[in-house]
A and B are shown apart, each in its own frame.
Chain A
Amino acid sequence: MYPRVVITGMGVVSALGVGVEANAYALKKGLSGIGTARFLPTDHLEFPIGEVPMGNDELCWMLGLPPGPTCSRTRLLGVVALREALTMANLQHHAGLALISGTTVGGMDVTERLYPNPLPEGVSDVHDCGASTNAIADDSGDFNYTATVSTACSSAMNALIAAKLMIESGERDIVVAGGAEAMSLFHLNGFKSLMILDRQRCRPFDKTRAGLNLGEGAAYLVLESETSALRRGVKIIGVLSGAGNACDAHHQTASSEDGEGAFRAMKMALDDAGLSTSDIGYVNAHGTGTPNNDASESAALRRVFGDQLPPVSSTKSLTGHTTSASGSLEAAFCLMAMQQGFLPAQSEFENNDDQCITPVTASNALDAELHHVMCNAFGFGGNDSSIILSRYE
């Protein structure tokens, strides 16, 4: 029997605000954080994005960190989320922690701000993804293990899955996991070149959907063996009861029509949790808003759940697609929904599409007592993941 993996802390920052309280409030009210770029120095103002509503200097001030040209926004967002998670789990001074963090952008925001001028000393040290994770970990000074997962948009969820396995295998009692990703010109232009950015607010699963809006944020969960959490006497806020990762093995970027990888990942998560489809009270979909993802994910959801589909929504309609951070950010949203008993509603949905599931919107969002929820995150490379979070009872 593997140890049960419980959650004892979470920290979040997104376009919905700073901290769990602000995010839960906006999520419950269905307030969108997507708008015109304010902090990213892009010419492409025609693409709405979900920016964290604070500039770098403001974030530095809030955190008591020195601002400067080599200060990466990914790091700042990560530190905001990490501090909140460690505080909630009562781990402010607890040596020997492990951090697994997902990112793809890393310190790119710093590098591109200075490029192509000669880079000042130290920039190359904060650029890469691993350095970005270490800079976040260094804020606490209590981490003696760090690793970075980079599997595109499923990175943060795969970090949670890796952390779960580390605890189950007995390697560690406590692992902090999640992801951090700041907006960068690099990936805004890249996604533009893929022609999957919507000029309007994104409308996941809507017949008129025309692509995604990018977003940014960070979220960390403190995962812990149940024994350790009980021994420390810390409040348990949920259980990471199941996880699955599968490869679509179809195309570098496109998802297969029948959502094979997504189907397998969801099935594996259910099996791992020992639950059946009827136990799931809500699914937080990957739901990016691209024609391809939403149709493929809907096909997979229908294959898994048949005609017993639980309420589904994509909170990317509120935050934008926070890419490598989305898996842990949305897992945190699932925990908030379970704790406070509500279904996160999508904004911007009007037209049903036969190819897609119909998501929860403000008009049909109800209070709900949730015991088990599923959260999906799929990445380019066909890297599809799904986890199940449960109430601790």
Chain B
Amino acid sequence: MKKRITHSVKLTCQTLEVDGKRVAMAVEGESFLTSLYHAASIEYPKFFKMDLLSKVGFIASEYLLNAEGKERFQPADDRAILLFNRNSSWNADTTFQQTIDNPEEFYPSPAVFVYTLPNIVTGEIAIRNKYHGESDFILLPEMSEAAMDQAIDRAFLDPATTSVLAGWVEAISEDDFEAFLTITEGY
């Protein structure tokens, strides 16, 4: 089994690179992620309900899949989604904790709690794109290209999987997040 990376996206809180090229972006009066959402003419109101980790993964995947240029939203079961990070759902965890900190104002938020599961971001990408293939969220002690590459190799052991959307998605705060996603095709 051979494989090759066909497309990649690198997103930080200030910059976006698609296939190695910087995407210029004017940000006025809204967050960088929301600007990217509008710039790509995405119409998906659920985006605004997502936690930060899902938003980061979602935006990165949108630009990645647009770069791929295939017809979008065609049901597929041959593409796996494998995401990785170190800090799991840190941002959603702290947000949820704030809803149960004060015994006088104790209103645990169901919508926030859901996102204290890091793998919801893989689910969001699968829902958006109608992907029914394998999905996994793996925590690594630190960012490791080698460990992610091995996991991609393992995903290809399943004969049903012909491509893998994979990468690192970390979201600590609005000004501290990153995503590095790739599409790897097997041949």
Contact = CB atoms under 8 A, between A and B. Distances in A.
A253 B114 contact: yes
Contact of B119 (A133, A150, A186): A150
A148 interface: yes
B50 to A, nearest CB: 9
Contacts of B139: 128-130, 133, 147-150
B175 interface: no
A254 B118 CA distance: 16
Nearest to A145: B147
Interface in A176-190: 185-187, 189-190
A268 B130 CA distance: 18
B96 A190 contact: yes
A76 to B, nearest CB: 20
Nearest to B109: A193
A32 B136 CA distance: 32
Interface in A358-375: none
A195 B96 CA distance: 16
Contacts of A381: 117, 119-120, 122-123, 126, 135, 137
B27 interface: no
Interface string A237-280: 00000000111111111000000110010001000000000000
B157 A147 contact: no
A192 interface: yes
A148 B132 contact: no
A261 B132 contact: yes
B142 to A, nearest CB: 9
Contact of B157 (A104, A169, A252): A169
Contacts of A327: none
Contact of A171 (B101, B110, B150): B150
A245 B134 CA distance: 5
Interface in A331-349: none
B66 interface: no
Contacts of B133: 246-247
A382 B154 contact: no
A252 B64 CA distance: 22
A116 interface: yes
A168 interface: yes
Nearest to A130: B139
Interface in B100-158: 100-101, 108-110, 113-114, 116-120, 122-124, 126-127, 129-141, 147, 150-151, 153-155, 157-158
Contact of A247 (B81, B93, B100, B116): B81
Nearest to A246: B132
A260 B133 CA distance: 11
B40 interface: no
Contact of B123 (A148, A246, A252): A252
Most chain-B Cβ atoms within 10 A of its Cβ — which of A112, A169, A193, A246?
A193
Given A129-B88, A165-B157, A383 B140 contact: no
B114 A252 contact: yes
B42 interface: no
Contacts of A195: 110
B154 A166 contact: yes
Contacts of A247: 81, 122-123, 126, 131-135
Interface string A198-238: 00000000000000000000000000000000000000000
A322 interface: no
Most chain-B Cβ atoms within 10 A of its Cβ — which of A185, A193, A247, A253?
A247
A128 B88 CA distance: 8
A150 B154 contact: no
A134 B108 contact: no
Contacts of B158: 268
Interface in A129-158: 129-130, 133-134, 146-152, 158
Interface string B83-104: 0001110100100110011000
B68 interface: no
A150 B137 contact: yes
Nearest to A249: B126
Nearest to A168: B157
> What are the 6 closest A-B residue pairs judged by CB atoms, nearest first?
A381-B123, A190-B113, A165-B154, A148-B139, A193-B108, A193-B110
Given A149-B138, A379-B119, A381-B123, 8 more contacts: A106-B88, A162-B151, A186-B96, A186-B97, A187-B116, A249-B126, A382-B135, A383-B122
27 contacts: A104-B118, A108-B93, A129-B139, A133-B139, A134-B141, A148-B138, A148-B140, A150-B88, A150-B119, A150-B137, A151-B136, A158-B136, A171-B150, A190-B110, A193-B108, A245-B136, A246-B133, A247-B133, A247-B134, A249-B132, A252-B123, A260-B132, A261-B132, A379-B119, A381-B122, A381-B123, A383-B136
